[in-house]
A and B are shown apart, each in its own frame.
Chain A
Amino acid sequence: MSKIPQTRQGHRPVAIVGFSQSKSLRADRASNEVEMLLPIVHDVFEKAHLTKNEIGFICSGSTDYLIGGPFSFVTALDAIGVWPPKTESHVEMDAAWALYEAFVRLQEGDLDTALVYGFGKSSLGNLSEILNLQLDPYTMAPLHPDQVSLAALQARAVIDQGFGTEEEFARIAARSRKSALENPFAQVRRDDSVEVLLQEPYLVSPLRRHCLPPISDGASAIILAAGDKALELAEHPAWITGIDHRIETHAFGARNLAVSTSTAKAASIAGVSEGHVDVAELHTPFAPQEIIVKNALGLNDSVSINASGGPLAANPLMAGGLIRFGEAAQAILDGRATRAVAHATSGPLLQQNLVAVLEGA
C-alpha cells in the first residue's frame, strides 16, 4: 500500500485516480457532445470504482464558440445525470483549469472526490476564424491574423533567438506522431523521417504543415480523490504534489514569444526541478512551442516528452490540456513512472500556463 507524499505547498494531498478519453477524430459526425461524453464518463467512474452519486464535486471545461451556441456546457450535464442536484461548476477554459478548480475545492476537507471533464468539437467551424475572436477586440481581432501566422511569428522568434531550428521542429513532429503509434486514442499516428518532413513546402514560413496540430473532436474525464480516499480507489494514485498557473500579457509585442515566463514561474512554485522527472506531457500544439515550454520547465533530454503523441497527434480543444494531465497520471497509475510533469496552456501563443508535478509514492 503506497503512502501519501508531502505536498510542496503544504496543501491537502489530492490525487488523480482515474482517467479516460475518447479517440480523437478529425470529425465525429455521428455523436453530439453528450454522446461523445457518455462513454468517457462511464469509463472513468468504472476505473475509479465510483458511482455518480458518490462524487462530491463536478467541474467541466468547454467553450461556446466551438459549437456556435450559448450554454453549450449545460446540455453536456445530461451525460452525467446531475440528479439529485450536485455541486457543480464550469470554466470557459481548457478542462485542465477545471481540474485546478476541483483541486482547490477539495482542499477544505468537506469533499473527497471530484469529477472533471472537458470536451470540444473543433471540426464544426473554421477554427482559425473562431480563434481570431479570442484576440483583443480593439487592436488585434480586426486584423484577422490566422492561427498559423501567429504561430509562425513565435517560431521565428524561437529560431532568431537561437532556441531551436526548423530541423528540431521536424524532429519533434516526427517523434510525436511515431510515439502516437502506441496510443490507440491518438489521431495522427505515423512514422515519418525528418528528411521527408523538411521537404514539405512552407505553410507560413518558417512553419511547415507537420509543425501544426490536427483538428480534433474529443473529450476526456478525470477523477480526483483526496487523502485516504485516493488510497482506497487506486493502487498507485498520481498525487498532485505541486500545482500552479500564471498568465502573461495578451499583447504579443509586450512579451518575448520565445520564452514562457509564466510556465517558468508556475514550474518553480510547483517544484518541478526538485526531483527527477520521468515523463512529461506538454500541451504544446505547435512544434516550436515544445522547445519553449521544455526550456521553461527546465527539462533535460533524459525526460520522456509526450509519449502519448501529445497535441501534435491529437488536439481536441478544451479537452487537450486535461488529456496531458491524464496521460501523465496514467504513467504513474500504471506503475511506469514515479514522478511526472503535466502542462496545459490557454490563450494565444502560450499566454497562460498551468503546471503540475504528479508523484507516485
Chain B
Amino acid sequence: MANRVAVIGVGQTHHKSKRDDVSIAGLVREAAQRALDDSGCTWADIDAVVIGKAPDMFEGIMMPEQFLAAALGAVGKPMFRVHTAGSVGGSTAIVAAHLVAGGIHERVLTVAFEKQSDSDAMWALSVPQPFSAPLLAGAGGYFAPIIRAYMRRSGAPNDVGMRVAVKDRLQALKNPYAHLHMPDITMKMVEESVLLWDPLHYLESCPSSDGAAAMVLGSEEAAKIAEASTGRRPAWVHGMAMRSEPTMFAGRNQVNPQAGRDCAADVYAQAGITNPRAELDCAEVYVPFSWYEPMWLENLGFAAEGEGWKLTESGATALDGGDIPWNCSGGVLSSNPIGASGMLRFLEAALQVRGLAGDHQVEGARKALGHAYGGGAQFFAMWVVGADRPE
C-alpha cells in the first residue's frame, strides 16, 4: 500500500428486526454519527463518503445513495456507491481505504446498511426470471446443497453446524448491538427448529436485520490527530484484498472456492502472515449459515482441507477458552443487515485490535482478520488490521 490507512472511528446501530423509529436516512446517520464521535471528527472533516448496500431491489429504491447525500454530509463532496453482492460491506470499506492509500483523501466516511424490515429480501433474491425454474428459495436454498456436499466430503458429524449456531449466539450476548440475544439457546433447541433447507435448521441460519455500520478511515496524519484528541488508538490496515470468480463453471469448487483462497493468500502476504491460526488473535468471518464456519476455516487456511470441522468441534474458535476465537461479536448468525454485514466484520476486527470490544474483547488482541463474501460464494473481500502501525 502506498500510504498507511487507519481506522480512526467506528459506529453501528443496534441491529433489530424492525427499526420503526428511524427512516433509512436516520438509520445510516445513527451509525455515521457514532463513527464520527468515536474518531473525534466532525462532518466537515470528512473528505468523501463511500456507501454500500445489497441489491437495490431489497428496499425498492434505485441508487438510494442519491437521496441520502444530505443525511451523510456528502453535499459538495465526492460520494460513491459500491455494490458487490453480499461482500459489499467489506468491499465498500476497501474502496474507501484505497482512497486514503492512494493519497486522494485524508478522511473518508464509509457506510453500509440494510433496512430489511422495509424490504422483502426473500422475494428480491428470488425474483423469478423467465425461462428458469422457480426453485431458488432465497440464499439458503442456494447454499444448503453446497453444505451437504461439504458434509459428505469431509465426513463431519451432523452436529458441527449446530455447535456454531450455539457458540455465535452465546457470544452475541456480550455484544449490546447484536440483533439476536438468545441466552437460552442449546444444541437441542437448534436441532428441534424447523429444517428450512435440509440440512440447515432454522436456528442455523442468519436473521434478517435492520442495521447500519460506519467507519472513518484516515491517513497517518489523521490517525495522529484522532488519537491525540480522543485517547483511543486506531486500528491499522496491514493488508486488504478482493477477489472474484464466476458463479458457475465446469469444475468449480463451490465448497472451497479458489477466489477465497487467493484473496486470503494475498491479504496474508501483505500482512506478513504465514500461519493464520497462530499469528491472528481473532477473526470476524462472514458465516451466515452455521456450516460455513468449518468451511471457511479451511478456505482461509486455519485448518487443512477436510479438517475445519475438527477445529470447531474442539472449541478452538470460541471466545471462552478458544485459541482462535471467531465471531466474538456474534457474527452474521446474530445480526444480518445484509448490506452492512460485511462491514460489521471489518469493523469488529478493528474494534478488537483497538481494545474497544467491551465484553466480547479478546484479551490482548493485536491482529485480526475481517472477512466478507457474497454472490454464489464468489466475491471475497478481506482485510487484516493490527494494533501496530505497519512498517
Contacts and interface: CB of A to CB of B under 8 A. Distances in A.
Interface of A: 10-12, 58, 63-65, 68-71, 73-75, 77-78, 81-93, 97, 100-101, 104-105, 107-109, 130-131, 133-138, 140-141, 244-251, 254, 261-262, 265, 346-348, 351-352
A250 B98 contact: no
Q: How many B residues touch the partner, as a band?
A: 35 or more
Contacts of A97: 80-81
A70 B125 contact: yes
A248 B76 contact: yes
Given A70-B124, A93-B81, A109-B2, 17 more contacts: A63-B56, A68-B127, A82-B244, A85-B245, A85-B259, A86-B245, A87-B244, A91-B82, A107-B102, A134-B62, A137-B59, A245-B78, A249-B75, A250-B69, A251-B70, A262-B76, A347-B66
B247 interface: yes
B6 interface: no
B67 A250 contact: yes
Interface in B50-100: 55-57, 59-64, 66-70, 74-85, 91, 95, 98-99
A322 to B, nearest CB: 15
Given A88-B242, A247-B75, A250-B67, A11 B104 contact: yes
Contact of A73 (B78, B83, B102, B103): B83
Contact of B244 (A71, A85, A136, A352): A85
Nearest to B76: A246
Interface in B200-219: none
24 contacts: A11-B104, A64-B56, A65-B57, A69-B129, A70-B124, A74-B378, A77-B247, A82-B245, A84-B258, A85-B243, A85-B245, A89-B91, A89-B242, A91-B81, A92-B83, A97-B80, A107-B98, A133-B62, A244-B78, A246-B78, A247-B74, A249-B69, A250-B69, A346-B66
A75 B95 contact: no
A85 B91 CA distance: 16
B375 interface: yes
Contacts of B57: 64-65, 69-70
A82 B242 CA distance: 13
B178 interface: no
A83 B127 contact: no
Chain B residues touching A, majority SS: loop
B66 A85 contact: no
Contacts of B104: 11, 104, 107
B246 A83 contact: yes
A72 to B, nearest CB: 9
A133 B60 contact: yes
Nearest to B83: A92
Given A63-B56, A97-B80, A245-B78, A107 B67 contact: no
B77 A70 contact: no
Contacts of B99: 104
Contact of B69 (A84, A248, A265): A248
